[in-house]
Amino acid sequence: HKYLNKFPDDFLWGAATAAFQVEGAYDVDGKGISIQDAKNGSNKFHDTSVTADHYHRYQEDIKLMKELGLKSYRLSIAWTRIYPDGKTKNQKGIDFYNRILDELIKNDIKPLVTIYHFDHPQCLQDAYGGWYSREIIDDFVRFARTCFEEFGDRVHYWLTICEQNNVVLYPKLIGGFLDGVDSEKWRFEVHHVMTIANARVIKLCHKLLPDSKIGPCVGYSAIYPKTCKPEDMLAALNQEDFRFNYPLDLLCFGRQNKLVKRYLEERGIDVVLSDEELLEMQGVNPDFIAFNYYQSAVAEFCPLQEEEKQPEFNLEGKKGNMSFSQFPGLYQEASNPYLERSDWDWEIDPIGFRIAFRKLYDRYQLPLMVTENGLGAYDTLEGNEVHDQYRIDYLEKHILQMKEAINDGVEIIAYYPWSFMDVLSTSNGYSKRYGFVYVDRSDEDIKELKRYKKDSFYWYQKIITANNI
User: Mind telling me the catalytic residues?
Assistant: 163, 372
The piece of 4-12, 22-30, 47-55, 162-170 that touches ligand BG6 (CB under 6 A) is 162-170
Residue (94 or 437) nearer to ligand BG6, CB: 437
Is-contact 328 302, C-beta < 8 A?
A: yes
Distance of alpha carbon 322 from alpha carbon 245, whole angstroms: 25
The piece of 94-102, 320-328, 424-432, 445-453 that touches ligand BG6 (CB under 6 A) is 424-432
Answer yes or no whether residue 418 interacts with ligand BG6 by CB under 6 A.
yes
β 326-327/289-293 pair status = unpaired
Site map for ligand BG6, 336-375, x if CB under 6 A? Answer: ------------------------------------x---
Answer yes or no whether residue 166 interacts with ligand BG6 by CB under 6 A.
yes
Answer yes or no whether residue 162 interacts with ligand BG6 by CB under 6 A.
yes
Distance of alpha carbon 123 from its chain centroid, rounded?
Answer: 23
159: which strand partners? 114, 215
Q: Is 280 helix (H, G, I), strand (E, B) or coil?
A: helix
Answer yes or no whether residue 427 interacts with ligand BG6 by CB under 6 A.
yes
Q: Which residues contact 196 (CB under 8 A, 6 or more apart)?
A: 134, 137, 273, 277, 280, 281
Listing DSSP states for 191-238 in one string gives: HHHHHHHHHHHHHHHHHH-TT-EEEEEEEE--EEESSS-HHHHHHHHH
Residue (292 or 332) nearer to ligand BG6, CB: 292
We find the least distance from the C-beta atom of residue 353 to ligand BG6, in angstroms, to be 15
Residue (354 or 433) nearer to ligand BG6, CB: 433
Residue (72 or 166) nearer to ligand BG6, CB: 166
Terminal alpha carbon distance of the chain: 16
Peptide bond into 425 cis (omega under 30): no
Answer yes or no whether residue 241 interacts with ligand BG6 by CB under 6 A.
no
Phi–psi pair at 42, nearest 5 degrees: -65, -30
Site map for ligand BG6, 270-299, x if CB under 6 A? Answer: ----------------------x-------
We find the least distance from the C-beta atom of residue 346 to ligand BG6, in angstroms, to be 8
C-alpha pair distances (Å), 130 with each of 125, 138, 177, 189, 250? 4, 12, 9, 11, 21
User: Positive or negative CA dihedral for 215, 467, 293, 374?
Assistant: negative
We find the least distance from the C-beta atom of residue 428 to ligand BG6, in angstroms, to be 6
382: which strand partners? 385
By beta carbon distance, the residue nearest ligand BG6 is 425
Phi–psi pair at 273, nearest 5 degrees: -65, 145
The piece of 41-49, 82-90, 131-139, 161-169 that touches ligand BG6 (CB under 6 A) is 161-169
The piece of 122-130, 194-202, 232-240, 418-426 that touches ligand BG6 (CB under 6 A) is 418-426
Instruction: Identify the residue among 37, 163, 300, 347 touching ligand BG6 (CB under 6 A).
Output: 163
Instruction: Determine the residue type at 116.
Output: Y
Residue (301 or 416) nearer to ligand BG6, CB: 416
Distance of alpha carbon 325 from alpha carbon 38, whole angstroms: 27
Is-contact 469 396, C-beta < 8 A?
A: yes
The 10 Å CB-count burial string (b at 16+, else e) for 72-103 is bbbbbbbbbbbbbebeeebeebbebbeebbeb
Residue (130 or 317) nearer to ligand BG6, CB: 317
The piece of 202-210, 299-307, 328-336, 423-431 that touches ligand BG6 (CB under 6 A) is 423-431
Residue (361 or 434) nearer to ligand BG6, CB: 434
- In the range 298-317, which residues lie near ligand BG6 by CB under 6 A? 317
The piece of 42-50, 57-65, 150-158, 427-435 that touches ligand BG6 (CB under 6 A) is 427-435
- In the range 95-154, which residues lie near ligand BG6 by CB under 6 A? none
We find the least distance from the C-beta atom of residue 14 to ligand BG6, in angstroms, to be 14
Answer yes or no whether residue 219 interacts with ligand BG6 by CB under 6 A.
yes
Residues in contact with ligand BG6, total (CB under 6 A)?
16
Instruction: Identify the residue among 110, 432, 451, 454 touching ligand BG6 (CB under 6 A).
Output: 432
β 289-293/223-225 pair status = unpaired
Instruction: Identify the residue among 122, 245, 426, 456 touching ligand BG6 (CB under 6 A).
Output: 426
Q: Which residues contact 458 (CB under 8 A, 6 or more apart)?
A: none
Residue (22 or 94) nearer to ligand BG6, CB: 22
Q: Is 73 helix (H, G, I), strand (E, B) or coil?
A: strand
C-alpha pair distances (Å), 44 with each of 32, 40, 47? 22, 9, 8
Instruction: Identify the residue among 425, 430, 437, 438 touching ligand BG6 (CB under 6 A).
Output: 425
- What residue ranges bind ligand BG6 (CB under 6 A)? 18, 21, 162-163, 166, 219, 292, 317, 372, 376, 418, 425-428, 432
